[in-house]
Structure formats: structure tokens, C-alpha cells
Structure 1
Amino acid sequence: MSGNLRGALFMTLAMAAFAINDSCMKAVTADLPLAQAIFLRGALAAAALGLIGLYRGRLRLRFARSDAQRLGLRSLGEVAATLIFLTALRHMPLANLSAIMQALPLAVTLSAALIMREPVGWRRMAAIGVGFCGVLLIVRPGTDGFDRWSLLALVSVAFVVVRDLSTRRLSPDVPSVSVAFLAAISVTISAVFLLPFSDWAVVGPTQSMLIIGAATFLIAGYLLIVMAMRVGEIGLVAPFRYTALLFSIVLGWAAFSELPDAITLMGAAVIVATGIYTFYRERKVGQVVATPVKAPLHLR
């Protein structure tokens, strides 16, 4: 099996793991308060990442001042994105939320061009514009099909952009597992501050299994996506991140009896098509500048 084929397989499995994590969190937050669920999952994920980092000898907590500042900004983006994403997930179909999140590569490309002055040609800019039209098809502002929680999903995308751009500016010697560990700790601590304003429910066997499953698949997704980026060319492997939408549609139907309507599917198709074209253009010109999975640290 070639490196690119293995990378595509690892990326696909990573997207499946993240989709299962999201499904577990959506199911468990139907019974448990959101802050409690985030705290319990975060504590398990942080412990696992800490052990992985110690085992590999890559867990560091002291960094240069510039990296520490970027890590602080990244953690802020991670915390806000996680809280907003999971809040939206409680109130809207999994597939619809996943479809909106597929606009992330386009949003990162645009932000990198505007904020970091990275070169983006007119073809990619046109693709970004078309992709965001696909987002409008899903959100449908001003129509009967408008869902206000979709706007919350867009806010989550904005904070993920902050997270990913901050990650891109970290020094190469900052271990990925250390970044992920700090992000997990940050999300868990944020939940601790929210606990006094939230109820604490009894955790039964079903909720326990869902939380353990969410943490397990979250860590599995992280490890698989790192493996994908190490064995394959990013321009060929990265488009397989869009398989997350397929997994979300299947899991949303199987677990929650949710299916997106035709307009949502059309918008998702536009986003995916323009995203893949953007990856293609980046690979063609030798500029992979807008791939969030370059620093694969998802802790939503």
C-alpha cells in the first residue's frame, strides 16, 4: 500500500472517529448538562494525551515567549469553538452542522490571505466565494428554513480559524501532542468554571459509555490524522477530510433519525466541491497554505 493510499485511509478513519465522537456528545448531552459532559470527556482526553506524551517523551509545558502567546491564543480559540460547537450540536442535526463545518478550509484560506498576507490567486478566491454561497444555502437566512443555531455554527467556524492560524505560526519544535494536551486541559478548565452555573446529573451506565466512547474516538481521531499527514502528500490526503460529512449523515440518520433536506445537501455539495478544488489549486501551485489538518489538533 502506497504512502498516499495509507494516508487517505488514515484520514478517512480519522473523520469517522471525529463523527462518532460528535454523535456520542450529542447523545450524552441530551441527558447530562453540557458543562458536565465537556468536563468528563475533557478530563479523560487530557489524561490519555498526557500519558501518550510522557510515553513518547514529547510532553513539554515550557515554551519560548512567542510560542506561549500563540498557544494562549490557540487555547482561547479551542475553548470558544468547542463550547459553541457543542451548544449548536445539541440543537441542530449532526449532518447540517457537519456541512457548515466543511467550510473551514475555505475560511482558513481566506483568513490566511487577509491576515497573514499569504498569496491566494483569483481562482481560489472565486472558489471561496462560491463555497460560501453553499453555506448560505444551508443557513438560509430570512427564509422559513432558517435555523438560528446555524449562525452559532458559523461562529464556531470563526473561532476554529483563530485556532488553526495560531497553530500555523507555532515553531516547528513545539510537539503536537503537547499542543493537544494543553488544548484538552484548557477545555476541561473552562468546563470547571461553568459547573457552578450548571446542574450536576447522575451519570448512569449509558452516559458513562458515551463519555468514554467520545474521549476514546477523539484521541483515536487525533492519532489517525497525525499518521495521515506523516505518510501521505497533504494535497492528496487532505480532501479526504470531507468524508466526515458522509459519516455524519449516516450517523445522524442511524442514531437520531435525522436526514438533511435537498437544499442542505446541495449546499454541502457546493462547499465540498469548492474545497476540493482549493486543495487541487494549492497542490498545483505548490502552496499548501490553507489546510487545517496540517496541524491536526481537533478537540471539539
Structure 2
Amino acid sequence: MAGFSDNLRGSALMAGSMACFTINDACMKAALAEVPLFQALFLRGLATTVWMLLLARALGGLKLRLPRRDRWMILIRNVTEVGAAYFFMTAILNMPLANASAIMQALPLSVTLAGALFLGEAVGWRRLAAILVGFAGVLMIVRPGMAGFDVYSVYPLVAVALVTVRDLLSRKLSAEVPSVTVAFFNAFSVMAFFGVGSVFVDWAPLSGRSVLLVGAASVLIIGGYVFSVSAMRVGDLALVAPFRYTSLLWALILGLLVFEEWPAVPTLIGAAVIVATGIYTFYRERNLARAAPKALRVR
């Protein structure tokens, strides 16, 4: 019963995390109708940085003295975070929310493939085949060469590549770096970069609606990170991790109700392919992890 309870709690936390992230995206997409991109991301970054400082003070986890190697890795990680924020937010400004969200679902596949290529992690032919099928699903969404394809169709793919690098760097950080410190530097870097960039654009006057949207986004994105970290520490990873795909359901619902957007049939099929291959990859990794100790015992 305890294991079932942990799995249920972990699944709920992961679903909650994805709800926070996707509603954050919807808030920012709505705010960008009134506020320039650099201004909106600076204001969200500013609010998020303040919230992170308060959270770090409450948890006592903010550590600024870090080993030299970790400092460089966090710096590079922050660059990828800034780039991913720019490309993904520009994408949802110029394309349906569900389309961009569906492409981002390829992230577990890209991280698995990059781990094999750059970190020497073992990936068998079954998982490699699933990854290739999943990327075929991405092509069904992007549909290069088809009507409606433009430069913004590539932006979510760039965001996936940048977040993949960010996650690989996260794996290489030493255990002495608290998660709240990494999250704080992420928020601060976004605030600083887009704050400087916003100097060169004309600021729009803030309405009560835009203030509410950006403020809500700053709280939701922290909720997404906190729930996500908590979810990965509870229950069976193979049962909890697939709930990350509930973000696609949120994107479909919010896209329809808030922005009157509904993806084309090829996009829905491509999204289904990505989700199916992602879930297979999660279960395959769990089965291999379970088999490894048995193999060691036989030896």
C-alpha cells in the first residue's frame, strides 16, 4: 500500500507540475498580445527571481560559493535557459500552443539520445528505434515543405535542443549544488538578459490584465519546478514520468478555450506518436534498471 500511495502522490505531483508549466505558457501567450516579448520575459524573470529568493530563504538552500567546475556548468546552463525561453516563447506567439507543446514532448527522447552520444549511456536498438519513430512524429507536426511551414515552426525544435543541453549539464553538476541554487540562477539569468534586451524595445503600458497574467506566470513556473522535482523523488519513475505528457492535454484544452486553436489531424497523430514512444522509452529504461542488479548477482 505504501508503494501505491507513493506512486499516486508522485503521479499527482507530476500532473500538477505539467499543469503549472502549461498554464504559465498560456498566460505568457496571452500577455504577449499586449506586451513586447523582451519586456514580458524580463518582468516574469524579475518576479520569479524575487519568489525564488523568498523560497530559498525559507528552505535555507541558496548556496553561492560553488566549485569552479560547477560555476562554469551553471553559466553554460543559464545560456541555454535564456535561449530556450526566447525560442519557445517566440514559437507560441506565432503558432498554436498545442503544436509547440507537442514538439516539446520529444524532450525525453532527445535527452536519452544525447546521453548515449555524449555521456556514453547505454541505449539498445529498441530504444533507439523508438527515438527515431518519435522524431518522425515531430516531423509530422512541423511538416517541412508543407503549406503553413515557416521559420517559427523550427523554433520549438531549437528550444528542445537547448533544453536537452541544459538537462545533460544538470546531470553533471556535483551533489553539493542545491537545486534551489540552480533554479535561482536560471531565473536571474533570464531576468538579466531580457532586462538588458528590453532597453532596446519600446515598452508597452501595463494593463491590470497583463500584470495579472505575468504575475501568475511567475508563480506558476516556480510551482512547475517544485512539483516536478518532488514528483521525481516519489514513487516509481516509470509510473510517474509518463504523467509529464498531461501537459499536452492542458495545451489542447487551453488552446481551444482561450485562443480558439485546434491542431490539424497530422499534428494530433504526430503528438500521439511522440507520447507513445516516450512512454515506451520510460518503461524500457525501468525494465533495464531492474534487470541490471539480477545480472550482477548472477556474476
Q: Per the shorter chain, which TM-score range?
A: over 0.9
CA distance in 2, matches of 1:113, 1:231: 26
| Paired amino acid for 2:281 | T
Runs of 4 or more consecutive aligned structure 1 residues displaced over 3 Å after TM superposition: none
Does the alignment pair 1:89 with 2:81? no
Aligned to 1:284: 287
Identify the match of residue 120 of structure 1 among 120, 123, 143.
123
> Of the two, which has the highest radius of gyration?
2
Identify the match of residue 246 of structure 2 among 234, 243, 248.
243
Identify the match of residue 53 of structure 2 among 46, 50, 54.
50
1:261-276 matches, within 5 Å, as 261-276=264-279
Shift of 1:145: 4.0
Identify the match of residue 220 of structure 2 among 214, 217, 220.
217
| Paired amino acid for 2:127 | R
Aligned to 1:14: 17
Kept in 2: contact 1:131–1:270 (CA 8 A): yes
| Paired amino acid for 1:244 | S
CA distance in 2, matches of 1:232, 1:219: 22
CA distance in 2, matches of 1:119, 1:249: 35
What's the secondary structure of 2:277's corresponding residue? Answer: helix
CA distance in 2, matches of 1:165, 1:198: 34
What's the secondary structure of 2:203's corresponding residue? Answer: coil
What's the secondary structure of 2:34's corresponding residue? Answer: coil
Shift of 1:230: 2.0
Gaps of 5+ in 1: 288-300
CA distance in 2, matches of 1:263, 1:146: 13
CA distance in 2, matches of 1:126, 1:230: 29
Aligned to 1:172: 175
Instruction: Map Cα deviations across residues 54-109 of structure 1 (whole Å, 9 max, x no partner).
Output: 11110011100111111111111101111111111110000000000000111111
Aligned to 2:29: 26
| Root-mean-square deviation (Å) | 1.1
Aligned to 1:63: 66
Aligned to 1:291: none
In the superposition, the TM-score normalised over structure 1's length comes to 0.94
What's the secondary structure of 1:2's corresponding residue? Answer: helix
Shift of 1:209: 0.5
Instruction: Map Cα deviations across residues 162-185 of structure 1 (whole Å, 9 max, x no partner).
Output: 111111100112111110000000
Aligned to 2:138: 135
Aligned to 2:191: 188
Aligned to 1:3: 6
Kept in 2: contact 1:96–1:260 (CA 8 A): yes
1:137-156 matches, within 5 Å, as 137-156=140-159
Instruction: Map Cα deviations across residues 223-251 of structure 1 (whole Å, 9 max, x no partner).
Output: 11122122222222111100100000000
Shift of 1:121: 0.6
CA distance in 1, matches of 2:16, 2:249: 12
In the superposition, the TM-score normalised over structure 2's length comes to 0.94
CA distance in 2, matches of 1:43, 1:109: 33
CA distance in 2, matches of 1:280, 1:230: 17
CA distance in 1, matches of 2:181, 2:149: 40
| Paired amino acid for 2:277 | T
CA distance in 2, matches of 1:21, 1:105: 21
Kept in 2: contact 1:139–1:147 (CA 8 A): no
Identify the match of residue 163 of structure 2 among 157, 160, 163.
160
| Paired amino acid for 2:79 | L
